[in-house]
Amino acid sequence: MLRVVVLGAAAGGGVPQWNCGCAVCRKARSEHPELQSTQASIAVSSDGEHWFLINASPDLRQQLIATPQLHPEAGKLRHSPIAGVILTNGEIDAVAGLLSMREGWPFTIYAHDKVLAILKANSIFNVLGEKNVRRQAIEIDKAFEPALPDGAPSGIEIVPFEVPGKSAWYLEGKAHPGGSDGAGDTLGLRIKDKATGKYFYFLAACAAVTDDLKARIAGAPLVFFDGTVWRDDEMITAGLGTKTGQSMGHIAMSGDDGAIGSLAGLDIGRKVFLHINNSNPALLHDSAERKMAERAGWQIPADGTEITL
């Protein structure tokens, strides 16, 4: 049985963002605290005892405190049920939380060579000493089974695959530590329980829905998908920034080429948006955008939501 916990559903900055006075952030600070959300990450387990994080957001410490499934076992001075972290990209949203896991508990970081090269090039990540924290490269379209701390198989099979996207924004105009050739900066994941065959897809970043992607995820029982912005020019029209969703490597929810329209008719059992920016009006429960997304079968989860397959 697969158990999935949404640790956070928001994009970079969370909701409310520390320096933002947009409509969503204002409401999240005052009359609608239920809008508050931490930055996107999920945890997955096949046995309910050992868990793997998918990305380590800057809010990880707060998320772990709020998630009983990830608390140390009672009676042990040092313990964590977290066996590993799988990184789908090298953005701050996905890797900064690793620094909150530097207290000497053993786990493994699984990431593409290009993302591992980013960690290696930044000496601050050396606080995760490789004596306790192994770094294991994963390959596109090659299944792997993350291991438990004692080396035993986890019972979870993960297939990383290429997704349209871009390298981390802080590398714009700079040489990529992992080289400029080939894919690897933005991955999707197919995560399966080997015992039951149940599976789901995780795509926290995606710049476009290709025919290959449609064929891959069609008929899936559960898909977590990039929900950063409602419309591509959302940040610009709201006066909150100068970049489009596309320029940041994210598809819009709406529009002819948006996620809602592009993934319609694929017989997906449950569709869940993640990595939702505070500028996105679909966060507001009474908005026309939220109603449109829900009519199309999409869910915007609260932090702590648990899904079982």
The predicted pLDDT at position 305 comes to 98
The predicted pLDDT at position 49 comes to 96
Average pLDDT in the chain: 96
Query: pTM for this structure?
Result: 0.97
H-type alpha helices, the chain: 23-29, 60-66, 92-95, 113-121, 211-217, 234-237, 259-262, 288-295
DSSP code at position 302? P
Tell me what the mean pLDDT of segment 187-206 comes to: 98
- Output phi, psi for 237, to 5 deg: -65, -25
Q: Which of 96, 85, 70, 180 minimizes the C-alpha distance to 133?
A: 85
How are the residues of the chain apportioned to helix, strand and coil, as percentages rounded to the nearest 5? Answer: 25, 25, 50
Token output for 92: 């701050």
Q: Which residues pair with 299 in a beta bridge?
A: 272
Question: From CA 207, how far away is CA 99, in angstroms rounded?
Answer: 28
Question: From CA 238, how far away is CA 20, in angstroms rounded?
Answer: 12
The predicted pLDDT at position 169 comes to 87
Sheet holding 298-299, edge to edge: 156-162, 187-193, 199-203, 223-226, 271-274, 298-299
Tell me what the mean pLDDT of segment 64-88 comes to: 96
Mind listing the pLDDT tens digit for each residue in 92-144?
A: 999 999 999 999 899 999 999 999 999 999 999 999 998 899 999 999 999 99
Mind listing the pLDDT tens digit for each residue in 245-302?
A: 898 999 999 999 999 999 999 999 999 999 999 999 999 999 999 999 999 999 999 9
Mind listing the pLDDT tens digit for each residue in 10-20?
A: 999 999 999 99
